[in-house]
Chain A
């Protein structure tokens, strides 16, 4: 069973004006450059977008262009949070495992 790690984004990244609320970033490979950003829309429907950490960009898009533009504009703020917290997360996890 693959262990899923996550960092909460809710409360750290404001919802977009069109009501997309970023919930959390998830990943299952400590050394991987990919994370999945989970979000919810106003109607409660949840979705996911992959982010390439090295490219500092989402590699998925939302079909609605206006929503997509709002989401893509949040890639860098989300990346900055991940760059700061994910390394610490992985380091403390490695220490806990005695690595």
Chain B
């Protein structure tokens, strides 16, 4: 059995209801799911999308619930982590995507550019994961290969594809396209 988790912070849109009663609908269910929709949702945090984010990690969901509210959770007004169990095989009208696999499957040609590859140094990935702690790595130009001249030095190239894959891996994130039925939301934990 595979469980997914969804963190809901205090004061956010989903906090107003009990998802075990209402289920979960994406913010824009009429939009079609695509590579760009997935990347905007994961890498830029665009919530007006056809996707619902869930995670395979309870710890990630709890962190989100606790810290990504509009106010801090309290005893009287806790945040929540919901446990979701999706039937297997999937019911009609719902799809589940692993953003890492989805982006990678659209970038199968290593001769094409841009893809999810960067041209920074071997520690540049740390800056993608945690940019605030590695500010300089976004502005330090990558080393230029001997014999290659020209151009104004600039920071490493980082694509939305890379951001999406890294953020998804970090958060163990899965995208659900469709409506999550209330019966699939099987448990709720209060987070204070």
Are A83 and B70 in touch, CB under 8 angstroms?
A: no
CA distance A31 to B23 in the complex (A): 31
Are B131 and A56 in touch, CB under 8 angstroms?
A: yes
Known A83-B131, A86-B132; contact A59-B45, beta-carbon cutoff 8 A:
yes
Looking at the complex, which one of B12, B45, B73 makes contact with A52 (CB distance below 8 Å)?
Answer: B45
Judged by a CB distance under 8 angstroms, whether A64 is at the interface is: no
Judged by a CB distance under 8 angstroms, whether A27 is at the interface is: yes
Digit string of A40-83 for contact with B (CB within 8 Å is 1, else 0)? 00000000101011111111110000000000000000010011
- List 18 additional contacts besides A32-B68, A59-B68; criterion CB under 8 Å: A2-B72, A4-B72, A28-B67, A28-B72, A32-B66, A33-B67, A36-B70, A48-B70, A50-B9, A50-B70, A53-B131, A54-B132, A55-B43, A55-B44, A56-B131, A61-B47, A61-B48, A87-B132
Judged by a CB distance under 8 angstroms, whether B133 is at the interface is: yes
Which residues of B pack against A, CB within 8 Å?
A: 9, 11-12, 43-45, 47-48, 63-64, 66-74, 129-133, 135, 163, 167, 170
Looking at the complex, which one of B11, B63, B66, B167 makes contact with A55 (CB distance below 8 Å)?
Answer: B167
The smallest beta-carbon distance between B139 and chain A, in angstroms, is: 11
B132: chain A residues within 8 A (beta carbon): 53-54, 79, 82-83, 86-87
Judged by a CB distance under 8 angstroms, whether A19 is at the interface is: no
A52: chain B residues within 8 A (beta carbon): 45, 68
Known A57-B45, A61-B47; contact A27-B130, beta-carbon cutoff 8 A:
no
CA distance A83 to B127 in the complex (A): 12
A34: chain B residues within 8 A (beta carbon): 64, 67-68
A28: chain B residues within 8 A (beta carbon): 67, 72
Looking at the complex, which one of A29, A36, A53, A84 makes contact with B66 (CB distance below 8 Å)?
Answer: A29
A-B contact pairs, 17 of them (CB 8 A): A2-B72, A2-B74, A32-B68, A48-B11, A50-B12, A50-B68, A50-B69, A52-B45, A54-B167, A55-B43, A55-B45, A55-B163, A57-B45, A61-B47, A82-B132, A84-B135, A86-B132
CA distance A19 to B170 in the complex (A): 37
Residue in A closest to B68 when the chains form the complex, CB atoms:
A34
The smallest beta-carbon distance between B44 and chain A, in angstroms, is: 5
A61: chain B residues within 8 A (beta carbon): 47-48
B130: chain A residues within 8 A (beta carbon): 54
The smallest beta-carbon distance between B174 and chain A, in angstroms, is: 17
Are A83 and B72 in touch, CB under 8 angstroms?
A: no
Residue in B closest to A49 when the chains form the complex, CB atoms:
B70
A79: chain B residues within 8 A (beta carbon): 132
Residue in B closest to A4 when the chains form the complex, CB atoms:
B72
